[in-house]
Structure 1
Amino acid sequence: MAVRYKLTKINDNITGKEQVKYSVTTVSYGNVNLDMLAEQMADASTFTYGDVKGMIENLTLLISEALKEGNTVTIDGLGTFSVTAQPNRDVEEPSKIRAESIKLKGIGFKPSPKLKDRLSNIEFTRLK
């Protein structure tokens, strides 16, 4: 099954000339959740659904703990997770940024070369 996409019109006013450009946005067929993955993994292995689900839930707990400790987490064949941060508010003086004024921005994910390679033959189809 191909990944669906749609074109989104964007106006480029940065150059001083009004130019119309198009951006590509992928459109999901739906969401594959933990239960679905655990069921598929159990069907393809000797592990039970409960075993697989428990292992994945434990993995997410261990990843969050490692990230809280200031580590990055690499899962071979999948990618690397890291914490991203930002100040609570805009600060003009670097000396005014302290640990207490920093908050979690998000979790970064960099896919592994192996994961990217597995997607090298991906197909796309335009949504009408």
Structure 2
Amino acid sequence: MAEYQMQASNLPSEDGEKVLFPRIKIWGQVDLDYLAQRINYSSTFTPGDIIGLVKSLTQAIAREMGEGHSVKVDGLGIFTPSLGLRKGFEREDAGQGGQKRNVRSICVDNIDFRADKDFIQETGMNCRLDRSQWKFRRSSDRYTAGERLELAQNYLKQYPILKVSDYCELTGLLRNAAARELKHWSETPDSGIGHTGRGSHRVYIKFIAE
């Protein structure tokens, strides 16, 4: 059974009152191996067959999107590629004579997904909700973004690296919000913050723009 909790929106209503909306509690994540085992119990396909088919499907979808198509999978949804700038490149200037971007500075940076209505309905049919006793935590608003940046800069004057967990303790932000903001600071040339490492091993360091 899934659980939900009512959470206050960051934006107030027209009357200035807090708006509450239901939010489902995600307790964990399942992977393709787990799904393949579950499908295997109710079908004649082996887990290997299922995993191989899904991987072939994802490769086929990626190939079509790479050629400029959106891909609709009936019962699942529509996949559409989204472009962005490669790291280190500034946005194109729309003014006459401004800096222009070429293909080397542009890349696919995300995949937009719009769920099929049947997929949403199927999920709803399998969802049995109960109100949770667990409360959603919210990031602290004790500091402004500028004050949080100053806290990070001062921290890096004393220590060689700043981890996401350190930034959480400094600012009161929850982990996802802290990770997003640190990533933003590290991509802002005059923030004084850079990064090294990848994925879960990424840490933040003092950076002086030349």
Number of residue pairs matched? Answer: 126
Aligned partner of residue 18 in structure 2, secondary structure: strand
Counterpart for residue 7 of structure 1: 6
1:76 paired residue among 52, 64, 74: 74
Aligned partner of residue 20 in structure 1, secondary structure: coil
Counterpart for residue 101 of structure 1: 105
The 1:12–1:44 alpha-carbon spacing in structure 2 relative to 1, beyond 3 Å, is closer
User: 2:129 corresponds to which letter in structure 1?
Assistant: F
Bigger drift between 88-97 and 52-61 goes to: 88-97
Tell me if the contact between 1:11 and 1:19 (Cα under 8 Å) persists in the aligned partners. Answer: no
Q: Deviations over 1:85-109 (max 9, x none)?
A: 2345344417724333333231111
Q: Deviations over 1:47-84 (max 9, x none)?
A: 11111111111111111111111111111111111111
How far apart, in 1, do the equivalents of 2:12 and 2:102 lie? 38
Give the TM-score normalised by the residue count of structure 1: 0.76
How far apart, in 1, do the equivalents of 2:9 and 2:124 lie? 28
User: 1:5 corresponds to which letter in structure 2?
Assistant: Y
Aligned identity (percent) is 26
How far apart, in 2, do the equivalents of 1:93 and 1:100 lie? 18
Counterpart for residue 56 of structure 2: 58
Tell me if the contact between 1:12 and 1:19 (Cα under 8 Å) persists in the aligned partners. Answer: no
User: 2:33 corresponds to which letter in structure 1?
Assistant: D
Tell me if the contact between 1:6 and 1:25 (Cα under 8 Å) persists in the aligned partners. Answer: yes
Larger Rg: 2
- Deviation, 1:23, is 4.3
Bigger drift between 54-63 and 79-88 goes to: 79-88
The 1:126–1:92 alpha-carbon spacing in structure 2 relative to 1, beyond 3 Å, is farther
- Deviation, 1:8, is 3.1
User: 1:111 corresponds to which letter in structure 2?
Assistant: A
Unaligned residue ranges in structure 1 (runs of 5+):
none
User: Does 1 or 2 have the higher relative contact order (CA < 8 Å, sep 6+)?
Assistant: 1
Superposed CA RMSD in Å reads 2.7
Give the TM-score normalised by the residue count of structure 2: 0.50
The 1:123–1:92 alpha-carbon spacing in structure 2 relative to 1, beyond 3 Å, is farther
The 1:99–1:24 alpha-carbon spacing in structure 2 relative to 1, beyond 3 Å, is farther
**More strand per residue: 1 or 2?**
1
Counterpart for residue 125 of structure 1: 130
